[in-house]
Structures are given as structure tokens and as C-alpha cells.
Amino acid sequence: MAFDPRPIGVFDSGVGGLSVVRAIVEAMPFESIVYLGDTARLPYGTKSRETVIRYARRAARVLAERDVKMVVVACNTASAVALGALSDLLAPVPVVGVVEPGARAAVATGARRILVLATEGTVRGGAYERAIARIRPEASVASVACPLFVGLAEEGWTDGQVPRLVAEAYVAPHRTPPPEAVVLGCTHFPLLADAIAEACGSKAVLVDSAATTAAQVKARLRAREAEAPIGPPGRIELFATDGVDRFARVGGRFLGRPIDPTDVQLVNLP
């Protein structure tokens, strides 16, 4: 069995993708990771398809320059609109997105009525609908753009009345009949899981693609005999395109542990 000690590259429009890093670390502690948060251009979710593809290509190039063995597109919006372009750009380096694993996780719940909560860009492209239809064509899928959730998560405003009211406003029009599974189709939404769960009703299972994405990363690396050798825990290198202090402050919530701002390197995208 061969091994590959090179790092996995992960990128997102900001810090939300650190929840995917967290899931990768839990599933594969020996893997090293290079993470890029394109904080200078956040949010991707409100931008046009062409702009997101352009941004995503630049971000992916930064990772490719660091000789990564795989690129994980932790951003749902970039996964929804730019996965094909990134696969072409980076070949033969494999590219894994979060939409397909999220769709698989939703279908695995057995739900036939699925509600996808995502950014405008993800909803506009219909990527989750297509991915779910490929696996379970008879499922009925509704998608709702919830842009305010991104700001709430960034501000750490995840508990109390405000997120509950916002969640209620987004979800209420889609509650009859009640969804059986609700996909948290944006990096930021898992932080608002309590408010979303309350708005969706007790029968809805919330689906977060982070763990399923990590499982897919592991399976793809194993199939290529490219897992890291067993040894000390992998190294995590963090890059941001703007605001390292804010990256560290907000990012710690997604990573599940504090980030020291001096551990975040500023990088300029060409």
C-alpha cells in the first residue's frame, strides 16, 4: 500500500469551510491541510456564476501552487457553480465538492420531501436539486435562499430571538407539507442549527455535509493509495486573503477550537 504525505487543499469564500476541515481532521488525523479562506471576496453567495468561477479558479491555483494532493471545495456556492471548471483547471489533482455529499446525506435519511437552505447562488443554479434527482428521482426538493444566515453566523448571533425569527421567516412558506430532511447547504448554516431545527419542526432531520464530505475525501484518497502515512497529527496551515484577526476570531467557531491570529497567513490573490 502506497502513501502520500502531501497536504489536502481546502478552500472556502471565508471561514465557514473550517467546519469541513474539522470533519476531515476528525476522520483523518494524520492528514495535513492547507486552508484558504477568500475573505477579501466573501460573500460568494450573492455573486454571479461567472464571478464565482473566476474567484474559485484563483483560490484553487493558490492551493495547487502548494502541491496539494486533492482540493476540497468547502464552499457550497463554489461547489454548485464551479466544480467542473476547477476539475478541468486542476487535473490530474482530484477535486471534491460539498454538494454531492450533502445530497447523498439527505437521501440517506430516507426523506422524500427535502428542503435545501443555501445561498442565492447555490439556489439559482439548482445544483442540489440535480444531485438529489440523480440519486432519488422521486424525491421532492424545494430550495430557499437564506442570505441573512451568513451574516448572523459571522457575527456569532446564533442563539436567541433574532436567528429564530429569521429562520421562521425563511422556512414558514415551505412547511406545508413539512419537510422530512433539511439540507444545511451553506458552510455557515450549521452554526444556526438550533434556530433552523425549531423553525423546521421536530420531524425534520437536519443534514450537514461536512462529515459526508470528509468520508468522500477519505474514500477517494484510499482508492488512489494517497492517504497520509500513520504518524504524528497532520499540520494545518491557514491562509486568508484579508483580515487575519477576524479570520481567527470567527474561524475558531467553525474549527471548534481557538485560532491564534499569528497562525493565519495573509495571501494576495493575483
Task: Find the binder of ligand DGL among 39, 187, 212, 241 (CB under 6 A).
Answer: 187
Task: Find the binder of ligand DGL among 7, 43, 163, 179 (CB under 6 A).
Answer: 43
x/- track of binding to ligand DGL for residues 227-266 (CB under 6 A): ----------------------------------------
Bond prior to 177 in cis (omega within 30° of 0): yes
Q: Looking at beta carbons only, is 9 or 43 nearer to ligand DGL?
A: 43
Q: Alpha-carbon torsion 96, 214, 18, 161, what sign? A: positive
Among the residue ranges 63-71, 75-83, 199-207, 252-260, the one whose residues contact ligand DGL (CB under 6 A)? 75-83
Q: Name the active-site residue from 70, 75, 183, 226.
A: 75
x/- track of binding to ligand DGL for residues 204-223 (CB under 6 A): --------------------
The reply on whether position 123 binds ligand DGL by CB under 6 A is no
Dist CA 178 CA 73 (whole Å): 31
Among the residue ranges 100-108, 186-194, 234-242, 250-258, the one whose residues contact ligand DGL (CB under 6 A)? 186-194
Give 8's contacts (C-beta < 8 A, 6+ positions apart).
24, 31, 32, 33, 34, 68, 69, 70, 71, 72, 217, 221
Under DSSP, is residue 171 helix (H, G, I), strand (E, B) or coil?
Answer: helix
Dist CA 97 CA 100 (whole Å): 7
Q: Looking at beta carbons only, is 121 or 227 nearer to ligand DGL?
A: 121
Query: Which residue carries 493565519 as its cell?
Result: 264
Q: Looking at beta carbons only, is 117 or 226 nearer to ligand DGL?
A: 117
Q: Alpha-carbon torsion 125, 127, 128, 130, what sign? A: positive
Nearest Cα to Cα of residue 164 among 198, 135, 140, 214:
198
Residues catalogued as catalytic: 75, 186
Interface contacts to ligand DGL, rule CB under 6 A: 12-14, 16, 42-45, 75-77, 119, 122, 150, 186-188
